[in-house]
Amino acid sequence: MGFGSIDALTGMAAAIAVILSAIVSLVGTSARERAVSLGQARIADLCELTGILEPKALQDIFGPPTMNGLWPTVTMTRIRKARRPLGYLLSDGRLDYACMAVAAASIFTDHPLMDLALGVAVTVQVAGWVAAVRLPVSRE
């Protein structure tokens, strides 16, 4: 087993936490993308997928929502064009998959840089959760 300079139990706990956090993030992102594809995107969906937290800025980019608070004409292509760095942190599957790969590799690999890589993966996941606190709550 890996974790050369980190205690084995601590390293295993960190790796498992990263994998679980990334899975939860992927499920949430998938649900948000599905809402967009069904034409039922709400402000919380657009905020997470784009990283834009100000409603006025969302309206400037995507136009006003309908009376029931939906943006039925928004597509993932338009969202990707409007995405800001925070949007990548909150809802980029590639980042979550990379974190999971690093966590899995840290379990089976004993390399001096693996502790650093696992630390970066932990930091990315924690930063995503901290940033998610600023997202608006969907009121359905």
pLDDT tens digits for range 50-69: 999 998 999 999 999 999 98
Structural contact between residues 111 and 4, judged by C-beta atoms closer than 8 angstroms? yes
Determine the pLDDT at residue 140. 56
Query: Can you name the residues that pair with 41 across neighbouring β-strands?
Result: 71
Determine the pLDDT at residue 43. 92
Tokens coding 29: 């992102």
**Angle at which helices 8-37 and 93-108 cross, to 10°:** 160
Listed in sequence order, the residues at least 6 apart from 115 whose beta carbon sits closer than 8 Å to its beta carbon are 3, 4, 5, 6, 11, 106
Which runs of consecutive H residues, i.e. helices, occur in the chain? 8-37, 43-50, 55-62, 76-82, 85-91, 93-108, 114-132
pLDDT in tens, 76-132: 999 999 999 999 999 999 999 999 999 999 999 888 899 899 999 999 999 999 999
Instruction: Report the alpha-carbon distance of residue 114 to residue 12 in Å, rounded.
Output: 12
Determine the pLDDT at residue 41. 93
